Amino acid sequence: MVRRYKKIPGTRNYRDYTLEKLQQCLQAIAGGMSIAEASRKYKIHRNTISNKIHKKHVKRAGKLLFFFYKDFSNELIKRFNT
């Protein structure tokens, strides 16, 4: 198995679209197309489109990555440098 496996769109029923295709779909909806029409045209599930429009499920799954907070990382740097 390869180290970084790239999924090929079309091989699974879920996430069968590219990021570019999703962006085109969202731009079409902003231009006046309905969600149902965009869903049929771009072949992205309408609930997925609705979630992206209404900004649902935007947080990452899993534990919080506290090492990425600047305050915490600055505190670690101060402690290791002293």
Q: Give the model's confidence band at 22: pLDDT under 50 very low, under 70 low, under 90 confident, else very high.
A: very high
Rounded Cα distance, 39 and 31, in Å: 14
* Residue 51 pLDDT > 70: yes
Mean pLDDT of 21-46: 95
Cα 39 to Cα 2, 22, 24, 30, 78: the distances in Å are 33, 10, 11, 14, 51
Percent with pLDDT over 90 in the chain: 43
* Per-residue pLDDT at 37 exceeds 90: yes
Selection from 48, 27, 25 nearest residue 38 by Cα: 25
Picking from 67, 25, 20, the residue whose alpha carbon sits closest to that of residue 46 is 25
pLDDT of 29 higher than 90: yes
Encode pLDDT of 58-81 as tens digits: 776 676 665 666 677 777 788 888
